[in-house]
Structure 1
Amino acid sequence: MEYLELFLKAIFIDNMVFAFFLGMCSYLAVSKKVSTAVGLGAAVIFVLAITVPLNFLLDKYLLQDGALAWLGPEYASYDLSFLTFILFIATIATMVQLVEIIVEKFSPSLYNSLGIFLPLIAVNCAILGGSLFMQQKEFPAISHAAVYGIGSGIGWFLAILAIAAIREKIRYSNVPAPLRGLGITFILTGLMAIGFMSFGGMLTGGDDEEDVKAAESVQVEVKEENATKKVADNTNVTILK
């Protein structure tokens, strides 16, 4: 259940496009056709699914303060966190190069349609954002990082697929001239963001339960204080009599 909730939150609530507006360049530029959007979305899923767990291992066993303790006690004081961005981007660039080789080999038409945006996945802020958010969330195991990476990729895939399908439809619609192009695209993105964020009420049951327990504990403490105060007041009245 924990993994399912993390997976769904990464797709809907913490969506890279609709919640954090990451990866907007590719989202806007490659969303004119559904077929192209599907290809780029699949590439993003693959890169996120590989790079987030790999960067989790790098962060846990190399970059964190004291992460090198496994090499020996003399390395326990080393802190390589200043290399975080360099190593994360290097991992991402390596995976993107692998994706580019695979796509060019097995789907030349998709490779040509994606054009410059395929190698630009390496500098897609949604990809780097997935690794940085993983580091910020401090997942206990690599399985959590893998689930989060796959969920984040699927969330970005759904976002670009949805806007591509809508843009293909509105191409034949009577859109007001000032809103044609990016104008109507930004409006649609905002509306879809509201729709995705509405899933928040469905996936925060654990947080709600914690809030209820906290409120109940506060109420118990207040009742105990009131009871103690009443006992003290009664004692004072008795003494005065």
Structure 2
Amino acid sequence: MEHIELFFKSIFIDNMVFATFLGMCSYLAVSKKVSTAVGLGAAVIFVLAITVPLNWLLDQYLLQPGALSWLGEEYASYDLSFLSFIMFIATIATMVQLVEIVVEKFSPSLYNSLGIFLPLIAVNCAILGGSLFMQSREIATLGLATTYGVGSGIGWFLAILAIAAIREKIRYSNVPPALRGLGITFIITGLMAIGFMSFGGMLTGGDDEGTKEEKTAKVEAEKTIEETKALADNTIKVVE
């Protein structure tokens, strides 16, 4: 259940484009055609699915305070968290280079269509954001990290695919001259972000669900209501 919830949240609720507006440069530049959007989106899914779990392993067994304890007690006090950015970016750059080699080998037309934006995945803030969000949210297991990486990639893929399909059709629409190009694209992106935000309540659980703090707050609220009712009844009796 935890994997499914994290998967759908990373796609819809915490979508990289619509929730945090990461990766907007390639999102806007490569979304003029559906074919190129599909190629870049697939590459982003692959890179996120590989780099997020790899960076989780680096964070757990190398970078966190005390992560080196598996080497011996004398290393338990080491803290290499200041190397997080360097290590994460190195992992991402390696995977992007691998993707670039594969795409150039098996699909030269797609490689030419993507142009400079394929190697620029290495500096795409959505890719680094996936690893940093994984770290800040303290994802507990490698399986959850993989689920989060795949879900985040699919979310970015859906975002760029949707805007590419709309931009292909909008060429035949009567858009006001002042909004043509990026203007109408930003407006559509904002409207799509509002739509994706509406998924926020789909995984909230039922009345019996909730954390211990939520249940405690609910009990206290009910107690306060009862005390208020009792005080009101006593006040009415005194007045009468």
Common topology (TM > 0.5): yes
Alignment correspondent of 1:192? 192
Q: 1:206 to 1:65 in 2, by over 3 A?
A: farther
Q: Which amino acid aligns with 1:29?
A: A
Alignment correspondent of 1:234? none
Q: How does 1:66-81 map to 2 (within 5 A)?
A: 66-81=66-81
Residue 216 of structure 1 and its aligned partner are, at CA, apart by 2.9
Give a deviation string over 1:76-117, Cα, whole Å, max 9, x none. 010000000000000000000000000000000000000000
Alignment correspondent of 1:8? 8
Q: 1:169 to 1:82 in 2, by over 3 A?
A: same
- The one of 217, 220, 223 equivalent to 2:219 is 217
CA distance in 1, matches of 2:69, 2:93: 28
Q: 1:86 to 1:24 in 2, by over 3 A?
A: same
CA distance in 2, matches of 1:193, 1:170: 18
CA distance in 2, matches of 1:221, 1:70: 50
Q: How does 1:119-198 map to 2 (within 5 A)?
A: 119-198=119-198
Residue 165 of structure 1 and its aligned partner are, at CA, apart by 0.1
Alignment correspondent of 1:99? 99
- The number of aligned residues is 226
- Confirm whether residue 201 of structure 1 aligns to residue 201 of structure 2: yes
CA distance in 2, matches of 1:57, 1:71: 15
Q: Which amino acid aligns with 2:129?
A: G
Percentage of pairs with the same residue: 81
CA distance in 2, matches of 1:206, 1:115: 48
Q: Which amino acid aligns with 2:49?
A: A
CA distance in 1, matches of 2:138, 2:220: 29
The SS at the match of 1:209 is coil
Q: 1:46 to 1:222 in 2, by over 3 A?
A: same
Alignment correspondent of 2:31? 31
Give a deviation string over 1:52-74, Cα, whole Å, max 9, x none. 00000000000000100000000
CA distance in 2, matches of 1:49, 1:15: 15
Unaligned runs of 5+ in 1: 231-241
Q: 1:220 to 1:190 in 2, by over 3 A?
A: closer
The SS at the match of 1:190 is helix
Q: Which amino acid aligns with 2:168?
A: E
CA distance in 1, matches of 2:186, 2:122: 24
Give a deviation string over 1:140-179, Cα, whole Å, max 9, x none. 1000000000000000000000000000000111110000
CA distance in 2, matches of 1:124, 1:216: 43
In the superposition, the TM-score normalised over structure 1's length comes to 0.90
Q: What is the Cα-based RMSD across aligned positions, in Å? A: 1.9
In the superposition, the TM-score normalised over structure 2's length comes to 0.90
Alignment correspondent of 2:62? 62
CA distance in 2, matches of 1:222, 1:187: 45
Residue 133 of structure 1 and its aligned partner are, at CA, apart by 0.1
CA distance in 1, matches of 2:123, 2:45: 15
Residue 220 of structure 1 and its aligned partner are, at CA, apart by 6.6
State which structure, 1 or 2, has the greater radius of gyration over its C-alpha atoms.
1
Alignment correspondent of 2:236? none
Q: 1:220 to 1:197 in 2, by over 3 A?
A: closer
Residue 223 of structure 1 and its aligned partner are, at CA, apart by 8.7
Residue 203 of structure 1 and its aligned partner are, at CA, apart by 1.7
